[in-house]
Each structure stands twice: as structure tokens, then as C-alpha cells.
Amino acid sequence: MNTPMLGKLAACGFALIMLQSCWEAPNTQSTQTGFRGTGMIDTKNDKTLANLQSLNRIPEAAPVPADTGPGPKAKDVFENVQVLGDLSVAEFTGTMVAITSWVSPEEGCTYCHVAGNFASEELYTKAVSRRMMEMTRDINSNWTDHVGETGVTCLTCHRGNNVPEYIWFEQDGPRTAAGMSAKSYQQNHAAMNVGSTSMLSDPFSKYLSDEPAAIRVIAQNALPYKGVDAISSTQDTENTYSLMVHMSESLGVNCTACHNTRAFTSWEQSPPARMTAWHGLQMVPELNKTYLEPLGPTYPANRLGPLGDAPKVSCATCHQGVSKPFYGQSMLEDFPAWKGVRDE
Ligand code: HEC
Ligand code: HEC
Ligand code: HEC
Ligand code: HEC
């Protein structure tokens, strides 16, 4: 081998060594979750784990136990209590302290109340909270197929923020230059919502709002498509994948948490989490339709989206990167007011 050749080889080697420091060692741990050879593997990144664990720790707070003894109820004592009237005065007051720490720890009671007049309905935040209270109780009593006994509280979505970190609005898609490709149909622009892929950037309006589109795209029989009413287009398929990427990212799991990837469509071969996810896919559009969307007129303009719609919920609003919010730790024993409407 001549010297210039050796030089080139050395340069290549050097470039490779330099490049190697550009990509991050993935540091992943993989766990086999199914039969050997079926590719049923769950991978987790050690580096993101510590951050997720600290985000999903429930802060210490004084519990507010159910108080069902004799004594006046909140609705008998206060002027304007429409949702939590079934609580005792002590439980009601404890609940106010708890929601303050979950939703407006910096601002305190006056985030929702006019100082000196707690019955006043002046602040929009109070009206919104009242609907949120009804929603929280509805989730915990009517959507147990999804939230199980774990349930949710205001903290699940808010985590100490006035506005939950993960909300969504309808999108027009990014602006494009005028001309033949003036409309991109929200495609071909890498979007954070869908794991930086360039598929449909807003799967939410399509699958998670009032009239959710059908998700199933895989034909059940080979050509010719006998007995299949509508043959899904490539775009329908991409749209489904956008939603699936959102679901995986929201829960911090691989597709294999819910599918055996040799047959995405087959329920028999899917892990049980897919059924829980299916209930979630029924719940989220209902929550948006019943509670979040109708709040539009209640919010000030700065809370609305670019197209004027109200902020809405996705899988990430509760899950925030883990397969069960707070790793499945329940708060309902400490805060039973949120279990549902109490029998009188
Ligand atoms: C995140 C919003 C929010 C915060 C923060 C909040 N509240 Fe409330 N509060 C409400 C809502 C909503 C109602 C009405 C509940 C209902 O209709 O069942 C209410 C009702 C009340 C009432 C009954 C008033 C009446 O006469 O009708 C009192 C008293 C009260 N809150 C005290 C407090 C105190 C004290 C704090 C701070 C420790 C506080 N609240 C923090 C939302 C909030
Ligand atoms: C399933 C998720 C979820 C739960 C549970 C939830 N919220 Fe919300 N909340 C939202 C979303 C989404 C918004 C809209 C965000 C915005 O205002 O931009 C919101 C908005 C609010 C706002 C308006 C904040 C603002 O500054 O505009 C208040 C106040 C509020 N929630 C209180 C509560 C209270 C109190 C509870 C518990 C009884 C609760 N929320 C439970 C999702 C949730
Ligand atoms: C948290 C659970 C979950 C995860 C993670 C998940 N899926 Fe799904 N997937 C579902 C559910 C539930 C359905 C069925 C929805 C329905 O039928 O309404 C589905 C449906 C599908 C379908 C349509 C199947 C058919 O019958 O046409 C495809 C394709 C698909 N998923 C691909 C993926 C891919 C690719 C990933 C990873 C990027 C993924 N999924 C991650 C739960 C999940
Ligand atoms: C209102 C909050 C909330 C929303 C929104 C939500 N989830 Fe969940 N989800 C939960 C809770 C709480 C649990 C834990 C249930 C339990 O402990 O049994 C859970 C559990 C799950 C599980 C089971 C995980 C496991 O390891 O067994 C899956 C899968 C799941 N959710 C998928 C989804 C998908 C997909 C969406 C969006 C379509 C979604 N969730 C939206 C609250 C929520």
C-alpha cells in the first residue's frame, strides 16, 4: 500500500472517530415481553428514566379524608356550591387547599376567587374549575375501564400548572409558499406531536375530538377486497400511524406494548394494554366533546387556539411520558372527594 493511500485511510479513520462522538450511545435496556422470535421487546432509555421518575412523583400533601358524619354539608353553609355540595364543610375546605396546590400554587385562592367574596362568579377560572370538577368525578366513576381504581385528580393533568403542559388546538398546518404545493395537508413537515416524523402533524382533530375517524386501516382479506366497504388510502394509513406515534410517545412505550408487530390488526395476539388503550380512545373524544370544547366561550381570547377553539386533552395530558400516570400510584384514597358524586 503506498503512502498517500495510507494517509487517506488514516484520515477516514480519524473522521470516523470524530463522528462517533456526535451520536449519543443509546443506553437502552430491553426487556423481552413475549415469545422468543416474535420481536416482543420493550426498550427504555436509562437517561430519560430519572427525569420521568421525578416528574411522576406525587408531592406530599395533607390528605383530605371523606367525612360522612352528621353535620352541615357545604351546600348548606356556603352560598354558591353546585358540584361539591355533598362534602362536609371540613372536607370542602381541605379540598380547596388541595386544588390550590395542584392548579395554582403560586397564585393561591385568588386564582379562582375574588378576595373577600368566595361566592362571586366573576373569575372565569372558577367557572372552568367547576366543569373540571365534574369531569374529574365523571372520569373516576364512569371510565374505570380505562383509569381503573387508580383514577385521576386535578394533579394528574395540571401538575402545579395553571395550564396543563400537554394540550392541543386545531391546526391549519404550517404556512407554505403559494403555488402548486400551497396546501400541505399537514404533511411533510416534521412535527413534535408525532415524534418528529413528517406524517400528519395534527392527528388530534381527526381522532380525538367530537367525531373521531375510524382508526382501522388494515384489510382483513387479500386481493380482491371482497367484503371490505371502504379501502383505506395511503393517507388514512399514515394518519393512523401519526396517532399511534403520539400514543407511544405519550406513554413512553414501543408499539409492542399494545401490538404484536407481526399482525398489528389482530386483537388475539395483542397484549392486554391495547384494550385499555381502546377505552382511552373512546374516553378522550368524549371528554373533549362534553367538557373541554364547550368551555370555549368561557375562556379569554388568549387561551384559545389559532383557529379560535378551546384547549383540549390528548393521551399526553394525563400520561406525560409513562404508561400509567404517576406509575399507577393512586391519590383517590387520600382525596376521596374525586371518586364521584356521593350518595346523599
Ligand atoms: C382552581 C380554582 C380554585 C381555587 C384555587 C380555589 N377555589 Fe374555592 N372554589 C372553586 C370552585 C369552582 C368553587 C365552587 C364549587 C362548587 O360549585 O361546587 C369554589 C368554592 C369555594 C367556596 C364556597 C363559596 C360560596 O359561598 O359559595 C369557598 C369558601 C372557597 N371556595 C374557598 C377557597 C379557599 C379558601 C381557597 C384557597 C385555599 C380556594 N377556595 C381556592 C375553585 C377554586
Ligand atoms: C384530564 C385532564 C384535566 C384534569 C383531570 C383537570 N384539568 Fe383543568 N384543565 C385541563 C385542560 C386541558 C385545560 C385547558 C388549559 C387552558 O386553560 O389553556 C384546563 C384548564 C383549567 C383551568 C383554567 C386555567 C387557566 O389559566 O386558563 C383551571 C382553573 C382548571 N383547569 C382547574 C382544574 C381543577 C380544579 C381540576 C380538578 C378538579 C382540574 N382542572 C382537572 C385539563 C384537566
Ligand atoms: C398504547 C397502546 C398502543 C400503542 C403503543 C400503539 N398502538 Fe396501534 N393500536 C392501538 C389500538 C387500541 C388500536 C385499535 C384502535 C381501534 O380499532 O379503534 C390500534 C390500531 C393500530 C393499527 C390499525 C390496525 C387495523 O386493524 O387496521 C395500526 C396499523 C397500528 N395500530 C400501528 C401501530 C404502530 C406502528 C405503533 C407504534 C408506533 C402503535 N400502533 C402503537 C393501540 C396502540
Ligand atoms: C384522564 C387521564 C387519562 C387520559 C387522557 C388517558 N389516560 Fe391512559 N391511563 C390513565 C390512568 C389513570 C391509567 C392507569 C390505570 C390503572 O392503574 O389501571 C391509564 C392506563 C393506560 C394504559 C394501561 C397501561 C398499562 O401499563 O397497563 C394504556 C395502554 C393507556 N392508559 C393508554 C392511553 C391512551 C392511548 C390514551 C389516549 C387515547 C390515554 N391512555 C389517555 C389516565 C389517562
Instruction: Give pLDDT tens digits for 20-43.
Output: 666 666 788 889 988 888 889 888
Pocket lining for ligand 2, CB < 6 angstroms = 99, 103, 112, 125, 128-129, 132-133, 136, 152, 154, 156-158, 162-164, 167, 292, 303, 311, 313, 317-318
Q: Which atom of ligand 4 is nearest to the CA of 328?
A: 17
- Residue 215 pLDDT: 92
In this prediction, residues 156-165 reach a mean pLDDT of 98
122: alpha, beta or left, given left = phi > 0 and alpha = psi -120 to 50? Answer: alpha
Query: Which carries the bigger pLDDT value, residue 190 or residue 265?
Result: 265
Give the model confidence (pLDDT) of 107-153 as tens digits: 999 999 999 999 999 999 999 999 999 999 999 999 999 999 999 99
Confidence band for 344, pLDDT divided at 50, 70 and 90: low
The best mutation among 80, 113, 134, 136 to test binding of ligand 1, ranked by most ligand atoms within 8 Å of the C-beta, falls on 113
Is the Cβ atom of 241 under 6 angstroms away from ligand 3? yes
Is the Cβ atom of 273 under 6 angstroms away from ligand 3? yes
In this prediction, residues 66-70 reach a mean pLDDT of 88
- Residue 19 pLDDT: 64
- Pair 40, 260: CB distance under 8 Å: yes
Closest by Cα among 172, 197, 169, 203 to 185: 172
Q: Quote the percentage of the chain above a pLDDT of 90.
A: 64
Mean pLDDT of the chain: 90
**Residue 11 phi, psi (nearest 5):** -60, -45
Closest by Cα among 304, 54, 311 to 165: 311
Q: Which atom of ligand 4 is nearest to the CA of 151?
A: 12
Confidence band for 242, pLDDT divided at 50, 70 and 90: very high
Q: Quote the percentage of the chain above a pLDDT of 70.
A: 90
Confidence band for 160, pLDDT divided at 50, 70 and 90: very high
Closest by Cα among 126, 81, 108 to 295: 126
- Residue 213 pLDDT: 92
Closest by Cα among 181, 187, 180, 182 to 235: 187
Pocket lining for ligand 4, CB < 6 angstroms = 139, 146-148, 150, 152, 156, 247, 251, 273, 276-277, 280-281, 284, 313, 315, 317-319, 323-325, 328
| Cα 85 to middle of ligand 4, angstroms | 29
Q: Which atom of ligand 1 is nearest to the CA of 107?
A: 5
| Cα 251 to middle of ligand 3, angstroms | 13
Give whole-number Cα distances, 135 to 76, 95, 109, 153, 235, in Å.
23, 16, 21, 10, 34
Burial 301-311 (b: 16+ CB within 10 A, else e): eebebeeebbb
For residue 176, pLDDT over 90 is answered with no
In this prediction, residues 300-324 reach a mean pLDDT of 96
For residue 183, pLDDT over 90 is answered with no
| Cα 127 to middle of ligand 2, angstroms | 11
Long-range contacts: 111-115, Cβ < 8 Å, 24+? 111/162
In this prediction, residues 180-188 reach a mean pLDDT of 71
- Residue 200 pLDDT: 87
- Residue 119 pLDDT: 97
Place of cell 367484503: 227
In this prediction, residues 284-293 reach a mean pLDDT of 98
Task: Say which ligand is closest to the CA of 315.
Answer: 4
- Residue 83 pLDDT: 97
